[in-house]
Structure 1
Amino acid sequence: MTETPAARTAEQRVADTLDRLRTDVDLWVATADADAQPYLVPLSFLWDGESILVSTTAASPTARNLVATRRARLALGQTRDVVLVDADVEASDSVPDDVADAFAAATGFDPRAEPQEYTWFHARPRSVQAWREANELAGRTILRDRAWVTRP
């Protein structure tokens, strides 16, 4: 039997979450269309300290849903070390070259080099939850109304 690790403090959860945002490459993007039909897709991302940048083909269900609803739920990690982000999303046909270069360097993927038209999306976290085990569920919300509950 595996021992459950002690619950992390809020400060440690925020620090761990910010580290994952800086170092992870991929996340899950959940969207829904006007009929509430869900759609889930993995995408590479770049964290700029305030928003999560993703890019996908302009014709994809994800892009259509994000343009229509301007909302998404993003998930990083595994079920026993998860970060869930509810975000407001803004679409853009392009980003500055230095941002696109940073995205390509961090993810190993450059949408500008693809033959299809890609749209860029800035997902600005509205709320963030992070937990590993049941003992962390009570304090899982670490960003509320765009403000961290604490800073590491």
Structure 2
Amino acid sequence: MTAPSAGLAPPRDLAQRKADVLGKLASERFAWLATSGESGAHLVPLGCVWDGARLVMATQERHVTVRNLREDGHCRVALGDPADVVLVDGTVELVAYEDLPADAPPVLADLPVNPSRVPGCVYLFLTPRRVLTWRHRGEIPDRTVMADGRWLA
């Protein structure tokens, strides 16, 4: 654990950081999704829900985000604000509404743009591979709480 910086709260331990990240994933309803493609970096805000293992979003099939993810399924999502940052790097699986399995999580109904109600949309299932989190500069050295798809705590 890193020593506290002057005037800052002590850094959280790894278990607390993981718990805080899981709480934020369960409660946040919007995220910034970054992808990259032929035209460069692309960043968009999307509604999101956490299904317990993946962050799920949805957008129009025709959007640059989907085109970029079809070329390269890697992305980064940013949650929170500068005083409580969560960055999630991972891979995305694109799923059309009609291809959802019968046991799809009920939480998908909470998406503001929902392929079940909005024609031309697809689900984006983001599986985290790396998660970074910090609340202040004293937490930055130990900011990784997930690596290679495995929680470190």
Is the structural similarity TM-score above 0.5?
Answer: yes
1:90 to 85, 89, 93: 93
Mean alpha-carbon deviation: is it higher for 7-16 or for 95-104?
A: 95-104
Match for residue 37 of structure 2?
33
| Alignment partners' CA distance in 1, 2:94 and 2:105 | 14
The count of corresponding residues between Structure 1 and Structure 2 is 145
**For residue 44 of structure 1, what is the amino acid of its counterpart?**
G
2:122 paired with 1:147: no
CA contact (8 A) 1:100 1:110 kept: no
1:42-121 pair list within 5 angstroms: 42-94=45-97, 95-96=100-101, 99=104, 101-105=106-110, 107-114=111-118, 116-121=119-124
**For residue 32 of structure 2, what is the amino acid of its counterpart?**
W
Distance 1:4 1:135, change over 3 A: same
| Alignment partners' CA distance in 2, 1:65 and 1:104 | 25
Q: Secondary structure at 2:12's aligned position in 1? A: coil
Distance 1:19 1:4, change over 3 A: same
2:36 paired with 1:5: no
Q: Secondary structure at 1:49's aligned position in 2? A: coil
Task: Note the residue ranges of structure 1 that are not aligned, 5 or more in a row.
Answer: none
Distance 1:28 1:97, change over 3 A: farther
| Alignment partners' CA distance in 1, 2:151 and 2:38 | 31
Match for residue 15 of structure 1?
19
TM-score (norm 1): 0.88
2:140 paired with 1:137: yes
TM-score (norm 2): 0.87
RMSD: 1.7
Distance 1:101 1:110, change over 3 A: farther
Match for residue 4 of structure 2?
none
Map Cα deviations across residues 43-95 of structure 1 (whole Å, 9 max, x no partner).
Answer: 11121221111110000011111111111100100012110011111111122
| Alignment partners' CA distance in 1, 2:48 and 2:146 | 19
Task: Note the residue ranges of structure 2 that are not aligned, 5 or more in a row.
Answer: 1-6
Match for residue 126 of structure 1?
129
Map Cα deviations across residues 92-143 of structure 1 (whole Å, 9 max, x no partner).
Answer: 11224664742223x44433222x4011111111100000100001110000
Q: Secondary structure at 1:112's aligned position in 2? A: coil
